[in-house]
Each structure stands twice: as C-alpha cells, then as structure tokens.
Amino acid sequence: MAAASSSAVEKPFVIAIDGPAASGKGTLARRLAATFNLPHLDTGLTYRAVAKAMMEAGKALDDEPAAVATALALDLGKLDRTELAVHEIGSAASKVAPLPKLRQALVEAQRAFALGGAVLDGRDIGTVVCPDAQAKLFVTASVEERARRRWNEERLRDGATEDGDALFETILDDIKRRDARDMGRADSPLRPAADAHLLDTSDLDIEAAYAQALDIVSRARS
Ligand code: DC
C-alpha cells in the first residue's frame, strides 16, 4: 500500500516586517525575499501610489470614495519604487492611510499577494494584514538616526543644493509628524505585534542588521 501522506501540506511561508519610516525595513525585506526566494511587496508603495494618483487628479487626501476607487484600480505589479520614493509622496501617503475603507481595499489586495508565501513590509503587516505570518519583525531606529539616513539619501539623489542643516531639520520634523500620524491613527496604528521580534537598527549597519534579521527568520522557518 502506498505510504499514507504523512507530510502535511506545507503552509506558505510569510515574513511580516513592520516599522516606522526610514527604519531600514525595506532594505531588509528585499534582501530576505531574495534569500528565501519569495515575492516581496512594499505595502507603503500601495499607499504612496494612491496618494500620488489622488494628488494628480486634484482630489483632497481625505476623499475616501476617491481613494477607494483609486486603490481598486491599482496594479500591485506595477508600483514604481523610484517614482514613488519622493518624500512629499510619503507624507501624502500617511495622510490617506487613516481612511478605513481605503485600508480595507488595500489590505485585501495585500493578503491576496501573500497567499502563496511572500515578504511584506509596512506598518500593520504582523498585526492586521498577515497576523498568522510565521516570522514577524518590528524594525526600529531612533528618530534622529532615521532622519540622518533619509537626509543622506536625499543628498545623494539631489546633490548638496540646500543648506544641509536646514534640510536635516526639515526631514527630522517631517519624520516626527509621520510617526505621530502612523502611530496615532485609530485604524491599524503602527505597533509591534505581540509575537514580533524587535530589531533596533540605530547602532547597526545594514550588514549587521541583516545578519540579525536572517537569524530570526531562519529560526522561525526551522
Ligand atoms: O513605508 P512608507 O514610508 O513607504 O509608507 C508611507 C505611508 O503609508 C506611511 O506613512 C503610512 C502608510 N502605510 C500604512 O499605513 N500601512 C502600511 N502597511 C504601509 C504604509
């Protein structure tokens, strides 16, 4: 008689990575996705794409029906990271993000993406989008360190065209405001899931942060 199928069908492996703006979660998510050969979705891009399309269409960022319609027309396979990376779009994204019906529409699309196994990063992946994810990371860094990283990125991209100190202060203020919006909203605020592993990258370079993330995920997988 053929051996009874003893091996249960393996559950698709999902890695949930959350954290505040500029914590380094995106870089870690991309590298983990490559290592574990999983598709990756940066869910921040979904909110950014909605915000950008709304601004282009001249819609107010609190127009919920327009935001939902924009979200339903989104193609998750066509999110252009370079185009959406601009700081102002990130700020606008944190203003559309509190709209509950918009979140509902995007969360549904994000869950569908995760069905076969995936790495997702954002603010509410471990708590709301994929609460059953096998590996959950909450990546943080001090607000000054996160502002410094964004400042370096902006200066590399645009050259030193602005007074560096003034630019740093602007970015620092903006990140503080975004933190307050992301953590303070009623629907799915940014917070670590009870079973998330905390990873503070304030004093870690990317290689050291990745080594720790890999260790956490490898343990969860075995
Ligand atoms: O990660 P990011 O900077 O690209 O995200 C932009 C904004 O999108 C962020 O300020 C809040 C929102 N966001 C969210 O509410 N939930 C997510 N899962 C991802 C992003």
User: Which CATH number goes with the domain that contains 182?
Assistant: 3.40.50.300
- The rounded Å distance from CA 1 to ligand 1 centre is 54
- From CA 167, how far away is CA 197, in angstroms rounded? 33
Cα atoms found within 13 Å of the Cα of residue 136, Cβ hemisphere only: 20
Number of neighbours of residue 4 by Cβ within 10 angstroms? 6
Probe target for ligand 1 pocket from 87, 89, 123, 191, with the most ligand atoms within 8 Å of CB: 123
Pocket test for ligand 1, best of 94, 125, 137 (most atoms within 8 A of CB): 94
Say if 43 falls within a structural domain: yes
Q: Looking at the domain assignment, is residue 1 inside a domain? A: no
Decide if 2 is inside a domain. Answer: no
Integer Cα distance of 169 and 34 in angstroms: 35
Q: Are 128 and 190 in contact (CB under 8 A)?
A: no
Residue 7 located in a structural domain: no
Q: Which atom of ligand 1 is nearest to the CA of 84?
A: 4
Residue 6 lies in a domain: no
**pLDDT averaged over the chain?**
92
Q: Under 8 Å CB-to-CB from 79, ≥6 apart: which residues?
A: 42, 45, 46, 48, 49
The total number of structural domains that make up the chain: 1
Write the single-letter amino acid at 62. D
Q: Residue 86: which pLDDT band, with cuts at 50, 70 and 90? A: confident
Q: What is the pLDDT of residues 162-197, one digit of tens each?
A: 677 888 999 999 999 999 999 999 999 999 999 999
- Residue whose CB lies within 8 A of the most ligand 1 atoms, among 104, 182, 187, 191, for a mutation test: 182
Model confidence, pTM:
0.91
Q: How far apart are CA 197 and CA 188, in angstroms?
A: 19
Structure confidence at residue 77 (pLDDT): 85
The residue contributing the CA closest to ligand 1 atom 9 is 94
Q: What is the extent of the structural domain holding 49?
A: 14-221
Question: What one-character DSSP code corresponds to residue 162?
Answer: S
Give the DSSP per-residue string, 96-144.
HTT-HHHHHHHHHHHHHHHTT-EEEEESSIIIII-TT-SEEEEEE--HH
Q: Domain for residue 74, yes or no?
A: yes
Q: Is residue 86 part of a domain?
A: yes
Query: pLDDT at residue 30 above 80?
Result: yes
39-85 pLDDT, tens digit each = 999 999 999 999 999 999 999 999 999 999 999 999 988 999 999 98
